[in-house]
Amino acid sequence: MGFSKEEKTRRILRGFKTVFFLITMVISFLVFSAPVFFVIADTLLPTALLSASIPPSSSSLLKTLYSHFSNYDFRYSLIDIPLISIIRSAVIICVYSFCDGPKLSRGPYLGITMICSVSSLIFVSLKASFVFNSSKEGSAMEAALFICSLGFAIAHMIVAYRTSCRERRKLLVYKIDIEAISACKNGFPRYQKILQDERVK
């Protein structure tokens, strides 16, 4: 049984509306839950890049990790780059989850995020200078790993600053509302008293 042109048009419009609604939901999630999104991405992406840069071997994952840690050298090893990202993300998400509106607007979240991001930026930049100067030619995966870690450190700072500004605006609006309610509560009895005085006169 075929559909008429009007029914097909309605179905197409309904499909476009559904897709638009889903895209809007995803964008709103990324905007309002940006710290959570960047923490997840910062945890997964550097680890995936490191695993892609490691040549495949017959040994198990635990043995491979153990060999990387046992043969660790700051000038050559890359195992610490995703480890730094995981530690940075864990600290940021813990502070973010324990902070409410006033603490997000100014204080622990913004300060600790800045400290973690700047310290990881210094560490990764210093390590990049050793790695690429010693090996002369770094692979594309190694370069992507360093760029990814540096990019997420900067992204964490930007997101923390924007979140702080957004919460500060919310608190400002809330403060204005509270002051308006207080003024109304204090003003209405006076108004009622004036009306009573006028009626008595």
User: Does residue 187 surpass a pLDDT of 80?
Assistant: no
DSSP 52-121: HHSPP-SS-HHHHHHHHHHT--TTT--THHHHHHHHHHHHHHHHHHH--HHHHHSSHHHHHHHHHHHHHH
Q: How confident is the model at residue 182 (pLDDT cuts 50, 70, 90)?
A: low
pLDDT of residue 138: 57
User: Does residue 188 surpass a pLDDT of 50?
Assistant: no
User: Does residue 194 surpass a pLDDT of 50?
Assistant: no
DSSP 27-49: HHHHHHTHHHHHHHHHHHHHHHH
User: Does residue 33 surpass a pLDDT of 60?
Assistant: yes
Q: How confident is the model at residue 84 (pLDDT cuts 50, 70, 90)?
A: very high
**pTM of the predicted protein model:** 0.67
Dist. CA 145–CA 51, nearest whole Å: 10
User: Does residue 32 surpass a pLDDT of 70?
Assistant: no
Q: How confident is the model at residue 191 (pLDDT cuts 50, 70, 90)?
A: very low
